[in-house]
Amino acid sequence: MHTEVLVTGIVQGVGFRPFVYRTAVKNGLVGHVRNRGDAIVEIALEGPQTKINKFIEELKTQKPVLAHIYNIKTENRQQEKGFTEFKIIQSSGEAKLSGSVVPPDVSICDECLKELRDPKDRRFDYFFITCTDCGPRYTTIKNLPYDRPNTTMQEFPMCESCAKDYSDPLNRRFHAQTVACPVCGPKVYLASNKGEPIESEDPIRETGRLLEEGSIVAIKGNGGFHVATATTKGEPVARLRKDKHRKQKPFAVMAKNLDTVRSFAEVSHWEAELLTSYRKPIVLLKKSKGYCLSELVAPELDRVGVMLPYTGLHTILFDKTEEPAFVMTSANPPSEPIVTDNDEAVTKLGDSVDYFLFHNRQIAQRCDDSVVRFHGKNPSLIRRSRGYAPEPIILKQVSNRCVLAVGGELNVTSCVLTQNRAFISQHIGDVENLENLRFHKDAIAHLTK
């Protein structure tokens, strides 16, 4: 029996093809799997019908955690093509069906955390550690299908060891498009506020020391820059407020771990669950009686916005410092989008920060942190961005029209409606000036690729 299977959903960039490969081989099936240009995964299977049925059932019930299947379409044919093994083959550029689904960026997974902290592992202390279960996706993708040549990782050819990981079906990094290591991957470095590189054997440790001493540092992440400073000292927070022209508006905080968060905020079961999830948004928490951060972080408010480290870089920073939490606010000039480019950062942020922590990977799409507030056990998304965008919201009704919604002028996001899916962009902000308007247009173009 020959069966063609089309799987629609968030099935690219989440380890789905390696999962399909392992499931097919386990069930004794031959054929192939590939990404199509419209973000549908196409599977060709040959073998006994009972084993094909079992394969499809396991596809639904044992899929990777980050994968979301919206539809599985199968077509059986009596005549086989004579496959002799099961393969992952090169992605196709065709687009027979509409509705591409680009996966969101997700936080570092537990397995990568173990490797990051293992001195015997070759990715020990490597800030850009990722695998098929974690890391940046949306912010790296230039085009579909989601393959390395279509991402900002194209500039970093894999070394022999990473290529071996990438090619091994039993490896967690099998076909992980962002796979890298200290030998072949992006590099991190410290610079002055004029952009001049500062020699350091351990730039992240040095950044932590500078922050603890009261410096303000712009840190390049996956979707843009954060401006960071210590939370236990009033002077740098006051200086940051002055430079950002924010007299009262609260700053977001990144804390070392959940226990640290509980030392200055009240955390419910549901809030803790979301704080530690793969989405890792900023969660607005009620300040505790023992609140120990500077009052200038969230002045005259009973809540503070908190997130946990979601990249290898953030994790290393906290592993090498004693500070319980850092201010981590989006690095953008007033009324402009978050900064993503190193040269642009020096021009626009150099006067308001003391140092930069740069890396040399380009950011394809800027993306702010998401913000959530709970009402009892129910989360309410105040800002739907990193960890969520551009994951679609599934609607009950199917529309035969394609609709573009662009929002108003303040706190804008854009949305593309196709079939029964509403694809919502990352947070855009106020589109009162040309820079934000360009960002808005770029986000729409990215949604409609």
Ranges of residues in the chain with a pLDDT under 70 are 37-39, 92-100
The pLDDT assigned to 173 comes to 93
CATH class of segment(s) 390-448: alpha beta
Please answer whether residues 210 and 353 qualify as being in contact, where contact means their C-beta atoms are separated by less than 8 angstroms: no
CATH 3.30.70.100 range(s) for the chain read: 2-88
Is 449 within 8 Å of 443 (Cβ atoms)? no
Q: What is the pLDDT of residue 95?
A: 42
- CATH architecture type of domain 102-186: Alpha-Beta Complex (3.90)
The number of C-alpha atoms within 13 Å of 434 and in the hemisphere containing its C-beta is: 0
Q: Are 418 and 448 in contact (CB under 8 A)?
A: no
Quote the CA–CA distance of 59 and 144 in Å, as a whole number. Answer: 23
> Which residues of the chain are in CATH 3.90.870.40 domains?
188-359
Radius of gyration (C-alpha) of the chain in whole angstroms: 23
Per CATH, the number for 2-88 is 3.30.70.100
**Residue range(s) in the chain whose domain bears CATH number 3.90.870.30:** 102-186
Query: Where in the chain do CATH 3.30.420.360 domains reside?
Result: 390-448
Q: Which amino acid is at 378?
A: N
- The residues with which 69 forms a beta bridge, in sequence order, are 9
Across the chain, which distance is largest between two alpha carbons, in Å?
A: 75
Percent of the residues in the chain that have a pLDDT greater than 70, as a whole number: 97
- Which run of H or of E encompasses 398? strand 393-405
The Cα 16–Cα 22 span in angstroms is: 10
- Average per-residue pLDDT for the chain: 93
pLDDT, tens only, 96-125: 434 557 789 999 999 999 999 999 999 999
Assigned token pair, 381: 């998304």
Distance CA 135, CA 125 (A): 15
Model pTM above 0.75? yes
CA angle 233–295–244, rounded 5-degree value:
75
Q: Could you tell me which residues come within 8 angstroms of residue 281 by beta carbon, excluding any fewer than 6 positions away?
A: 274, 307, 369, 370, 371, 372, 386, 387, 388
Domain made up of 188-359: CATH architecture: Alpha-Beta Complex (3.90)
